[in-house]
């Protein structure tokens, strides 16, 4: 077993297979978490994106277990009660959750699984999985975040105002995370996230567990 | 104060100046620690190499405080007794030590200070400075380490035999370090060391202290 020989200290440590881990990426709405995570998955195809459960009905072309695990509201609520979600959230009228089993299956197989969650979800994941590597994505400034939210032209002024108010409350939460990535220029921010992934992969604790 | 506002959680975390830290690079003799560290210092000129104290007399062109702090044996032993060395070692007939003050001066100024020490020195540094970031440099295999030591053509067969025996005992010590870098291809190993430096610079704990 790779894990056991590492614990004793292998004479050929380079040949050990590192164990998987959970990489949680969080930050305020509009900061570009989704784009960053897609950039990481493209650069490191060995990473897996966690497939969430949702009560929202499937759209044409979506397949159960690929885009989402589609569940009825009753199923979702029952699963939530069983503690099967690492974190969950209500978005508009639907429920979304991260099945713990999804995460465990991938990390047990030695893979890095990436979660893209809001700040409340990030707090929940860090509480339940203190071994997770956590990255907070912050905007260069609140003014810049506002420019980005307005630039999207998809949200009303009211929604934008709410998101900025939330961001002001959420940004100081970065102190509870392992890493801070300021998303100023996107390619540089992706590079930083990829580096965090690579370096965390190289941590001895992941060889000796 | 950057540290205090970070502890509360700044709204512009990108503007905070990270604090310095001690980066200790260790591994068996002949593994290429020195070359790796020079590669890091070249790539990241903000890093500082720790100037050691030694009882060896200065060579022509060497300046006190630049290559080494030159000390008489009496001075060195007295300083050692005062606990002024983070680690020390006897190499051939001379004593070498890392003055704690050197390290503190640089890290207090927000710089990364790099130490290149043997495995015994590495253990001593990790014990006295548990906040240090520690990197163990391992050879791809003992056979390859032997090839490198023989290839140098600077040591006798006896010395090489001793070093290999030591390496066999030292390599399993990597489990006590934060990171493992296998020095197979040098440019790749330098790249990994530079990445570790960069990512550790980005740790939130260095912003919020």
Q: Could you tell me if residue B70 is inside a domain?
A: yes
Q: Which of A9, A180, A208 sits opposite B204 (nearest CB)?
A: A180
Mean pLDDT across chain B, nearest whole number? Answer: 89
Nearest-Cα residue of chain B relative to residue A199: B196
State pTM to two decimals.
0.85
Are A97 and A125 found together in one domain?
no
Looking at beta carbons, which residues of chain B come within 8 Å of A182?
13-14
CATH number of domain containing B46: 3.40.50.300
CB–CB of B114/B48 below 8 Å? yes
Is A155's pLDDT higher than 90?
no
Judge whether B4 lies within some domain.
no
Whether B133 maps to a domain, the answer reads yes
Contact residues, chain B, for A204 at CB < 8 Å? 136, 174-180
Phi, psi (degrees; rounded to nearest 5) at A207: -90, -30
Judgement on whether residues A122 and A41 belong to the same structural domain of the protein: yes
Highest mean pLDDT: which of A55-59, B148-152, B186-190?
B186-190
A62, A91, A108 — which closes off a domain? A108
**Residue B22 pairs with which residues in a beta bridge?**
B113
Does residue A177 sit in the same domain as residue A201?
Answer: yes
Taking residues B152-165, what's their average pLDDT?
A: 85
Which residues from B are below 8 Å from A202, CB to CB? Answer: 179-181, 192, 196
Task: Supply the CATH number for residue A94's domain.
Answer: 3.30.63.10
State residue A209's pLDDT score: 45
Across the range A148-175, mean pLDDT stands at 88
Residue A18: per-residue pLDDT: 81
Residues A141 and A187 in one domain: yes
- Per-residue pLDDT tens digits for A183-197: 999 999 999 999 999
Strand A85-91 to strand A94-99: parallel, antiparallel, or no bridges (unpaired)?
antiparallel
DSSP state of B175: G
Which of A2, A3, A5, A9 has the most B C-beta neighbours within 10 Å, making it the best mutation to test the interface with B? A9
What percent of chain B lies above the pLDDT cut of 70? 95
B99 CB neighbour count, 10 Å cutoff: 19
Residues A176 and A97 in one domain: no
Interface test with A, best of B6, B172, B192 (most A CBs within 10 A): B172
Task: Report pLDDT for B92.
Answer: 75
Confidence label for A208 from pLDDT (cuts 50, 70 and 90) = low
Query: Which are the contacts of B95, defined by CB distance < 8 A and separation ≥ 6?
Result: B54, B55, B73, B76, B77, B80, B88, B89
Q: What is the mean pLDDT of residues B144-165?
A: 86
Q: Which residue reads 């007295």 in tokens? A: B78
Assign B207 to helix, strand or coil.
coil
pLDDT at A129 over 80: yes
Number of Cβ atoms within 10 Å of the Cβ of A168: 13
Q: Are residues A99 and A137 in the same domain?
A: no
Residue A176 domain boundaries: 2-47+111-206
The dihedral formed by the CA atoms of B20, A123, A25 and A158, expressed in degrees to the nearest 10: -110
Q: Collect all residues with Cβ–Cβ distance below 8 Å to A16 and sequence separation of at least 6.
A: A2, A5, A6, A10, A207
A144 CA: distance to closest CA in chain B (Å): 11
Residue B119 lies in a domain: yes
- Same-domain pairing of A87 and A153: no
> Has residue B62 been placed in a domain?
yes
Q: Retrieve residue B142's tokens.
A: 């003992």
Identify the domain boundary among A83, A108, A133.
A108
Going by pLDDT thresholds of 50, 70 and 90, the confidence category of residue A3 is: very low
Q: Does the CA dihedral B128-B36-B205-A113 come out positive or negative?
A: negative
Contact A192 B173 (CB under 8 A): no
Asked if the structure places residue B199 within a domain, the reply is yes
More confident residue, B136 or A209: B136
Q: For residue A8, what pLDDT is reported?
A: 62
Residue A161: strand, helix, or coil: helix
**Domain shared by A42 and A73, yes or no:** no
| Other Cβ atoms closer than 10 A to A134 | 22
Whether the pLDDT of residue B8 is over 70: the answer is no
By Cβ distance, the residue of A13, A178, A179 closest to B138 is A13
Count CA atoms closer than 13 A to A106's CA, side-chain side: 18
Residue B75 lies in a domain: yes
User: Out of B136, B140, B195, whose CB is closest to A198?
Assistant: B195
User: A196 and A150, same structural domain?
Assistant: yes
A200 near A206, Cβ under 8 Å? yes
pLDDT in tens, A4-49: 444 566 777 777 778 899 999 999 988 999 899 999 999 999 999 9
Assign B155 a pLDDT band (cuts: 50, 70, 90): confident
B82 vs B156 pLDDT, higher one: B82
Residue B9 lies in a domain: no
> What does the pLDDT average to over B168-189?
94
The pLDDT score that the predictor gives to residue A2 is: 40
Interface of A with B in 13-32 (CB under 8 A): 13-14
Task: Please check whether residues A42 and A58 belong to one and the same domain.
Answer: no
Summarised one tens digit per residue, pLDDT across range A74-121 is: 999 999 999 999 999 888 789 999 999 989 989 989 999 999 999 999
B208 reaches A (C-beta below 8 A): yes
- The C-alpha atoms of residue B70 and residue B72 are separated, in whole angstroms, by 7
Domains held by chain B: number: 1
Is the domain of A58 the same as that of A127?
Answer: no
């Amino acid at each position: 077993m790779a894990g056991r020989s590492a614990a004793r200290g292998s004479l050929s440590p380079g040949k050990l297979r590192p164990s998987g881990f959970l990489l949680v990426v969080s930050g305020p709405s509009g900061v570009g978490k989704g784009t960053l995570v897609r950039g990481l998955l493209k650069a490191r195809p060995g990473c897996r994106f966690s497939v969430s459960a949702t009560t929202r009905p499937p759209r044409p072309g979506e397949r159960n277990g690929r885009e989402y695990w589609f569940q009825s509201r009753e199923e979702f609520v029952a699963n939530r009660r069983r503690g099967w979600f690492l974190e969950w959230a209500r978005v508009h009228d639907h429920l979304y959750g991260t099945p713990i089993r999804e995460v465990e299956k991938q990390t047990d197989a030695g893979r890095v699984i990436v979660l893209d969650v809001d700040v409340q979800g990030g707090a929940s994941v860090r509480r339940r999985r203190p071994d997770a590597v956590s990255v907070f994505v912050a905007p260069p400034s609140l003014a810049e975040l506002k420019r980005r939210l307005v630039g999207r032209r998809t949200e009303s002024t009211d929604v934008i105002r709410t998101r900025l108010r939330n961001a002001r409350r959420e940004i100081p939460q970065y102190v509870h995370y392992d890493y801070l990535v300021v998303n100023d220029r996107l390619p540089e921010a992706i590079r930083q996230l990829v580096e965090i992934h690579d370096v965390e992969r190289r941590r001895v604790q992941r060889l000796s567990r």
